[in-house]
Chain A
Amino acid sequence: MGLRGKIAVIALGWLVLISSLHAYLNVNWAAVLNDYRPASKRKITVAYLPVTCQLTCPVTDYISKYSLSGEEFLPRMFQGFPEIKEALISNRVQAAFIVAPLALALKSQGVPIKVVYLGHRYGSAVVVRKDGPIKTFADMRGKTIAIPSRFSDERLLLFRAMKVWGIKPSEIKMVEMAPPDVSGALAAHAIDAFVMGEPFPSQAEMAGFGRVLFQAREYWPDYMSCILVVRQDLIDSRPDVVQVLVDGVARSGLWLDTSKPHREDAADFVGRFYYNQKPALLRWALTKPMDRVTYSPLAPRKADFDMVRDLMMETGVLNKKLEFEDYTDTRFSDQASIQTPWKYEPGTAVAK
């Protein structure tokens, strides 16, 4: 074989090696094959972020994949709400965990979605520097605080606290920041405080420079932020699939709230296989204390959403008085509320 032949063989071999490695390591075959199934049998794609508010999504996927006949839906991790929103609008994903005010805003702008379930309750906190000057919320005057988005419950939570302390909106500077950036920014004195969902408060606490000023529950009983929305066309064409999804999330929520070992196990497999976070961080967020974030009851309630809507209108991010019935479909949660938790014990299935 001449030199040219050798080079050709090596190049071909390299190409085959790289292609097969790519196919093995990078390609999500479940998602690729799903596109070739008939529409009625296709699994739906559910978008989520790596935050504890949305933990029921990977938990449902994991438990159903390893202890039942197979996965119920295809979870797809995103890095921010804008991307999820765009995928949802363009029907690249059919269901998504997003923050409640964003769902209301999208609905008011004519995006065909419905709220079918909640993701969690509580799980957001205001964090300040451990040795910083802010001792109570009154010290927040004139300070800069990072919020995840204008359409976040965390922002509304701040307004509730400001009302209690008689602080005017002009007295606090709010900046929108990507959640992964806030911990470093707080440590570097770039901001004075942040309000975010878990595990970012835990991250600042664990690293030793952050102190939780207050948890969401102190100013907002039954606080909820992330909710599950589904596209209207899916509800119309395949309500059974939506029911399976809601059932799965409901059972995961109950399972997570059953005992501490369940939560520790969830921290372990979600951190490693889904969120790409240190399991120790999730363990902290889920168990210190146990009610830092809760996963039941998760049926959408009118009172919760009316309060979010009113706060949104009051703070200028919603200009239409939406009614609860316009943007929720409670039939799925009505049936899911009788569900029992997963029958899955830590260690009963072998993780891949």
Chain B
Amino acid sequence: MTSSAKPALWEQFFWPLVAAGLLLAVWQFSVVWTGTKVFPSPVSVEKGLIGLLQKHVLWSDIGDSLRRVALGFGFATVVGVPVGLALGWYPAMNQVVNPVLQVLRPISPIAWIPIAIIFFGVGDRAAIFLIFLAAFFPIVVACISGVSSVPAIFRRAGRNFGLSPVHILSKVIFPAALPQILIGLRLALGVSWLVVVAAEMIAVDSGLGYLVIDSRNSGKRYDLVVGAMLIIGLIGLALDTGIRRLEKIRSVRWGFRHGS
């Protein structure tokens, strides 16, 4: 198969499934071969997860995690996109704010946990705050770079057509920057799902992150730890596939040269 040939539909699913199957086989074999009593085999992970399903907690854990990520990511989008647009639109403002932004950006959400507890207490709001923090910075940065990379000729053309600044921003700059903004949103969604485990360390009692931590705390339930990790990974894949569909919207497709 050459790189430019489009694989047949069955191939798109068949080979990844083979790869996953191989990985499971290697995993199972290594567990049997080393005779470990601690690390779980794929079969015991499956058994543990089925046990959770029968207790009807797995779906609510998944739902709670998704809800927290949706809220945190949603707030980050609602706040981050306008902030990013404004900072990109007014470079002077950006010069003032940027250093602070760059200092806050690399701080791991885990480091924020004590502060989150002090500000938001224990429970949902602190967890959502951490997810918000993680998603906020990539969105803002993508918006700034999106707006500032819009060719100046677009603005001039807009002005020549007599558009007001608000209209230039909404009708010209925003659509032009949208492909970059979408990349930022995609990154941010990935990061928000990434920090769900850290966010759910703060005394909440549901969610997949909580499932990891709780199973870890409850002695030797590493089957559930690994099971929750796998589910987190699969849902992360689903989320990313979902948000990539946005890139196929007609009005932004031009921004993705390699998109099909």
Contact = CB atoms under 8 A, between A and B. Distances in A.
Interface residues of A, number: 29
Interface in A86-131: 89-90, 102, 105-106, 108-111
Given A90-B38, A175-B205, A185 B217 contact: no
A105 B122 contact: no
A149 B121 contact: no
B216 interface: yes
A175 B122 contact: yes
A185 B216 contact: no
A330 interface: no
A91 to B, nearest CB: 10
Nearest to A177: B203
A184 B217 contact: no
Interface in B99-154: 113-114, 117-123
A176 B206 CA distance: 12
A110 B220 CA distance: 9
B117 A190 contact: yes
B119 A110 contact: no
B198 to A, nearest CB: 13
Interface in B1-58: 37-38
A82 B218 CA distance: 9
Interface in B183-233: 203, 205, 216-220
Nearest to A106: B219
Contact of A184 (B117, B123, B203, B218): B117
Contacts of A187: 118
Interface in A172-228: 175-177, 180-181, 184-185, 187-191
Given A175-B203, A175-B205, A177-B203, A190 B121 contact: yes
Contacts, number: 60
B220 A89 contact: yes
A67 interface: no
Contacts of B121: 185, 188-191
A82 B220 contact: no
Contact of A185 (B118, B205, B219): B118
Contact of B122 (A82, A111, A144): A144
Contact of A150 (B113, B119, B122, B217): B217
At the interface, is chain A mostly helix, strand, loop or mixed?
mixed
A111 B220 contact: yes
A309 interface: no
A342 interface: no
Contacts of B205: 175
A332 interface: no
A85 interface: yes
A140 B29 CA distance: 52
Contacts of A110: 37, 220
B219 A190 contact: no
Contacts of A105: 218-219
Contacts of B122: 144, 146, 175, 177, 185, 190-191
Contacts of B114: 180-181, 184
Q: Could you say which of B38, B118, B122 has the most chain A C-beta atoms within 10 Å of its C-beta?
A: B122
A148 to B, nearest CB: 10
A108 B220 CA distance: 10
Interface of B: 37-38, 113-114, 117-123, 203, 205, 216-220
30 contacts: A81-B217, A82-B216, A89-B220, A90-B38, A105-B219, A109-B219, A109-B220, A110-B220, A111-B219, A149-B217, A150-B218, A151-B218, A151-B219, A175-B123, A175-B205, A176-B203, A181-B113, A185-B117, A185-B118, A185-B121, A185-B122, A187-B118, A188-B117, A188-B118, A188-B119, A189-B121, A190-B117, A190-B120, A190-B122, A191-B121
Nearest 3 pairs between A and B by C-beta?
Answer: A190-B121, A175-B203, A188-B118
Interface of A: 81-82, 85, 89-90, 102, 105-106, 108-111, 144, 146, 149-151, 175-177, 180-181, 184-185, 187-191
Given A105-B218, A146-B122, A185-B121, 8 more contacts: A109-B219, A149-B217, A176-B217, A181-B114, A184-B117, A185-B122, A190-B117, A190-B120
